[in-house]
Structure 1
């Protein structure tokens, strides 16, 4: 019973963080692995995805009530994310992601430095692309980060946000809304693979999903209420946490 309460609390906080800037897996996945050490890793990851898709889906719905996004770009990008996330999930059963694990902290340090130095980064919403070019670039982002999510995963939402701010000219709030749509597609792809192969604890996942939805509602409400500046600060916080976690996993564990 205590473990269920702890996992529920972790799911709530994961939903809160993930709704704002992504990175909920930083909280939820370690909690599952530490409290259920005898369960197969694939089953824990599948359970995490089942809880996560509900929290991310609710956060996306909350954002879309207040933040306008370009569906003509977002939907093809989400489709690309789904297809390539599934491909990444399939590939990771055949190829080890160890080299990617070691490279990731350096990529994240670059993201953190760039975001910190560029004080105006993500403050204004000034889209730089439109039409076919925006659609194709959106699909490229969806495919690249979707594949990464299926193959490895940490910080997927944060990478989506960074790329949509850096290359598309979105502010953090709009980038977060689009990232949630693409994240739902990634989670759906991974969940379809884990569910088909029997690697989901459905009852535990449903319990955690309820808690994560609560956190997602609170997180997305705060992001919308406090705006881009708040999201930027949370983004930097999560990226720094990701640097610490991936450095430990890649070099110290």
Structure 2
């Protein structure tokens, strides 16, 4: 396994640190940080499966940073989350298993379509996510939430970038939450999926620990700052930020896939 400082120059290492710090702050606000951090980590020259595992380790650190801030600020709903976490963990673990067995190229067009749909849906439904309309658990929203937690968990383990955006959108659409509470709940669910995914990557020996720990510390700090900004600014700030990140994520994937 390549060591951290033999895998890249010092200048490249500093570049990756800066980009991953920015990525974790962005992700804490609106999701989509993987669009920044994953390409930066790919630039290290590590094999792609090793990059995915190492990136997942750092993502866990980022998720912890943002989750703590949202949780201590009272922006999470454990009444809902306790029914979703187990399914999310199972989906994420299975996603990593499938990733290690097959090529992920077939999934990219589907993800692009979903991102474009999500962008225009949120754009033209101007009131959605601005006010918190959560009325409590129902049989319908818990069944929809269970399916969402499993499928997005699988996607998180299998591919990753955009998971936070998908989760935020799902909590808004299924439960009627605003962006602040949706972001807080999505961070907790994203964290559990990341931990399950990381456990699988560790099992398959796909983590470069020196690299992962160094980047993870930086991403933890960035996530704390991003979450603090999101909570202070409110839902009206997060929504346009969310739309921009979603559009950039979709555009980046389209360019990478077809151009």
For the superposition of Structure 1 and Structure 2, which TM-score range results when normalised by the shorter chain? over 0.9
Matched residues in 2 for 1:65 and 1:132: separation? 28
Matched residues in 2 for 1:68 and 1:239: separation? 22
1:187 corresponds, among 194, 206, 229, to: 194
1:55 corresponds, among 44, 51, 62, to: 62
Matched residues in 1 for 2:85 and 2:241: separation? 24
TM-score by length of 1: 0.94
Any gaps of 5 or more consecutive residues in structure 2? 1-9
Matches within 5 A, 1:7-22: 7-22=16-31
Once the two structures are superposed, what CA deviation does each residue of 1:23-82 show, in whole Å capped at 9, x if it has no partner? Answer: 111111101112x22x21111111111111011111111011223432122022121111
Q: Are the equivalent residues in 2 in contact too, given 1:102–1:251 (CA < 8 A)?
A: no
1:67 aligns with 2:74: yes
2:11 corresponds, among 2, 8, 19, to: 2
1:96 aligns with 2:96: no
Q: Are the equivalent residues in 1 in contact too, given 2:58–2:212 (CA < 8 A)?
A: yes
Q: Are the equivalent residues in 2 in contact too, given 1:20–1:223 (CA < 8 A)?
A: yes
Matched residues in 1 for 2:14 and 2:126: separation? 40
- Report the counterpart of residue 29 of structure 1 in structure 2: 38
In the TM superposition, residue 233 of structure 1 has moved relative to its aligned partner by 1.3
SS at match of 2:101: coil
Matched residues in 1 for 2:234 and 2:59: separation? 23
1:232 corresponds, among 229, 239, 242, to: 239
1:173 corresponds, among 173, 176, 180, to: 180
Matched residues in 2 for 1:52 and 1:62: separation? 16
Once the two structures are superposed, what CA deviation does each residue of 1:82-113 show, in whole Å capped at 9, x if it has no partner? Answer: 11111011112223332221222222111111
Matches within 5 A, 1:114-193: 114-130=121-137, 132-193=139-200
- Report the counterpart of residue 118 of structure 2 in structure 1: 111
In the TM superposition, residue 132 of structure 1 has moved relative to its aligned partner by 5.0
Any gaps of 5 or more consecutive residues in structure 1? none
SS at match of 1:146: helix
SS at match of 1:93: helix
1:86 aligns with 2:81: no
In the TM superposition, residue 240 of structure 1 has moved relative to its aligned partner by 0.6
Once the two structures are superposed, what CA deviation does each residue of 1:143-191 show, in whole Å capped at 9, x if it has no partner? Answer: 0100111122220110000111112100000000000001111111111
Q: Are the equivalent residues in 1 in contact too, given 2:75–2:180 (CA < 8 A)?
A: no
TM-score by length of 2: 0.92
